Structure 1
Amino acid sequence: MNSFNNSGNFEKKTVDGKENPKYVDLLEEDKPLSGQKFACVSFVSPESIIKQKEMYYFDSFLKKWDFNKSMEKFVQFLNFISFKYSVSFED
């Protein structure tokens, strides 16, 4: 049985109340200071996700570049065929 909430994230505990092994808590809590109540919000730097994003962008670039090169060669081929057989081809 999965312990997802509505947003697709893992819950801290499973439905039966046990600790969820897939839950990762990235926040560290400091001991409270006497008489002070405050909140400290920090940014979690997802280094592995950033690397994955860069790989995704590079992969997308290669796919687009391959497509553009293929289309360029295809247009050259169509121009050649239109010239050889005197058929009109418009870019």
Structure 2
Amino acid sequence: MALFALQLKFTDAERRLQVRPAHREYLTSLKEAGKLVAAGPFADQTGALLIYEVADEAELRQILEKDPYTPAEVYEIAALNEWQPLFPLS
């Protein structure tokens, strides 16, 4: 398994707020399945940071395809990197 840090930049605030309940429900299911380690918006609401634990980038991209935010086109990927934490996650 690998950890990936995904940074999103929000592009359509009004549409994003309409889709957000479904997006958060989807994230909850990923957390319960052990695929999502942490997630949350930036304080200024311009984007978000999500940490996934998946087999590889291909699996992460499949997860993103199913996220309600994707077909709503309310974000751009600002950065996507495999992440090696220095300190263990608790």
Per the normalisation by structure 2, the TM-score is 0.21
- Name the one with the larger strand percent: 2
- Identify which of structures 1 and 2 has the higher relative contact order when contacts are C-alpha pairs closer than 8 Å and 6+ apart: 2
Give 1 or 2 for the bigger CA radius of gyration: 1
